[in-house]
Amino acid sequence: MAKTVLITGGASGIGLMLGQKYAKAGERVVLVDCNREALDAAVAELGDCADRVLGVCADVRDYSQVCGARDRAVAAFGSIDILISCAGGAERRICRVPGEFHEAPIEVYDFGIDLNLKGALYFDHAVMAQMAKQKSGVIVHLGSITGEEGSRDNISYAASKSALMNGMTKSIALAGAKYNVRCFCVAPGPVKTRPGADKMTTLIGRAAETEEIADYIMYLASEKGSFVNGSYHLIDGGRSVMWNKEFY
């Protein structure tokens, strides 16, 4: 039986790749993104799967819009079986704010927390209500190697990813256990979703292909990964063990 997969940040990057792969595998897919133009293009690209793909334009920072996306998914497909929170990004890169940490307006860091942490929390909260009714579900957080390493510039991003990878993933797993809902986090290293990723060194000597991250998430979210719960999983080409990166 086909499953319903809701993916935030579904119009680009890892989220888009996941949407494409799930749709082509015969699952029902809900792509959520705040960029209407990119979202429409992503849905149009999956024209052959149009009967099982829904695009919802919503801002993950707005809880009412989050609930609206959940309700549209359930109305269209009757369930939400897998939630994957891909929406996010480095706040100063997105806002195009240069300079030192203390020179950036505090609103930039508020934006980073709202996007990268509260956005995932909002969707977890809204979708857990549906999964509790179903008594089943999988919730996937997208972490980052930056949550391990920290960041001099994008401090909200680093703090949010660290929180997702540890306290939030464990806590959502605890909250969902009685409803047969499991939660885990996948934390990629450098991924070829943006310019400059190849400049980040790894032991393997390259950044990940987007498909490599998507395949790993799909495996863990499937029945083959059914014993994975409350944990985070690095997929970083060995970057996390490079204690002195200047030698690589």
Catalytic positions, please?
157
Q: What is residue 245's predicted lDDT score, i.e. its pLDDT?
A: 57
pLDDT digits (tens, 9 = 90+) for 169-184: 999 999 999 999 999 9
Mean pLDDT of all residues in the chain?
94
Q: Return the sign of the alpha-carbon dihedral for residues 48, 16, 86, 242.
A: positive
Instruction: Go through 17-28 and write b for each residue having 16 or more CB atoms within 10 A of its CB, e for each that does not.
Output: bbbbbbbeeebb
Reading the block at residue 2, the tokens are: 């086909």
Are 1 and 25 in contact by the 8 Å Cβ rule? The answer is no
User: Given a cut of 50, is residue 247 above it in pLDDT?
Assistant: no
Spell out the domains of the chain, with CATH numbers in brackets: 4-247 (3.40.50.720)
d(CA 52, CA 44) in angstroms, rounded, equals 12
- pLDDT tens readout for residues 210-246: 999 999 999 999 999 999 999 999 999 999 888 655 5
pLDDT at position 248, please?
41
Residue 165 reports pLDDT greater than 90: yes
